[in-house]
Structure 1
Amino acid sequence: MFEATVSATLPKAEFYDELAQQARALLAGETNRVANAANLAALLYHSLPDLNWAGFYFLTDGELVVGPFQGKPACVRIAIGRGVCGRAAETRQTQVVPDVHAFPDHIACDAASRSEIVIPLVLSAGELIGVLDLDSPKLARFDDEDRKGLEAVARLFVETIRG
């Protein structure tokens, strides 16, 4: 059994270093995308304070389709370019949104969400495979330190993908 022990009371840089170590250990030796996404979504949801959703959308037939997640039921399909997830997929750049209600074309899957961060998942060959999405009921929950830390964790996930 795996038990996460990351302390949310650490300074953010140290917190994300420990979170990355936990993620590396959790994903070690497994290459199944769904299994790793499920475990990583659970690790993030239970390790990061002030989240109401953490999960994955995978690129399938030209649109983002919900994958493993923790939180309330989610939107199943998101068009590339639509909402925060679609924008991250289209631009292949992390989107840090302090107030989702001020984001043009925001898709409200959970009315309690106030801020969001979405990290594109891109293979080394440049192929987009999906996005990692985290929502919070707190305004301005995510900052540049969160972006850097979560991008590092997302890279660990992408490195487990074969083919």
Structure 2
Amino acid sequence: MAFKLDAIEKMNTEDKYRYMNMLLTAQLSSEEDLLANLSNASAIVNVAFDRINWVGFYLMKNRELVLGPFQGRPACNRIKYGCGVCGTAVKERRVIRVENVHEFEGHIACDSASNSEIVIPIIVNDEVFGVLDIDSPEFNRFLELEEGYLIKFVDKLKESIIVNSLK
């Protein structure tokens, strides 16, 4: 599948996020492999989002999050359940948006350049599968707009994970 990305630079923010979800739908319709889909999903978000320095997935294994496909600098390999923003999002099973990560108790600084973060848990069949994690060097980078589109993005991923797990 060839991604058409030339036009994205001329789009406004909301159009970029809509296009991001369309690209993911196309990716998922042409590929069943989880690793390929998560890899391209992180790349799609990286292209659609401005002013971020890391985007990727952590996958739940033996009650801890293990680094999955990502875009950005090297990251923490493992995050304990309930620790940091990602582990807290898993424990509380909810999206967490952090305006200033330096004020988040227990924040894990994988990249000292990160100042804000959003984490969306991926819950499949009532089990935490993993998280989508995005960092920004800007404070207060992630707003309700981003949260809404990222929830839709993760919902599309979850559908694919469920469908492909039944095969």
TM-score (norm 1): 0.93
Deviation by residue 1:88-126 (Cα, 9 ceiling, x = unmatched): 111110000010001010000000000000000011x21
Q: Which structure's residues are more often helix, by fraction?
A: 2
Deviation by residue 1:48-73 (Cα, 9 ceiling, x = unmatched): 10010000000011100000000000
Where 2:8 maps in the other structure, the secondary structure is: coil
Aligned-residue offset at 1:19: 1.6
TM-score (norm 2): 0.91
* Farther off after superposition, 30-39 or 146-155: 30-39
Unaligned runs of 5+ in 1: none
Q: Which has the higher contact order (CA 8 A, sep 6+)?
A: 1
Aligned-residue offset at 1:15: 3.1
CA contact (8 A) 2:86 2:133 kept: yes
Unaligned runs of 5+ in 2: none
* Aligned positions, number: 161
**Which residue of 2 is the match for residue 85 of structure 1?**
86
Q: Percent identity?
A: 40
**Which residue of 2 is the match for residue 150 of structure 1?**
150
Runs of 4+ in 1 over 6 A off after TM superposition: none
CA contact (8 A) 2:122 2:129 kept: yes
CA contact (8 A) 1:8 1:49 kept: no
Matches within 5 A, 1:8-23: 9-12=11-14, 14-23=15-24
> Counterpart of 2:111 in structure 1: which amino acid?
D
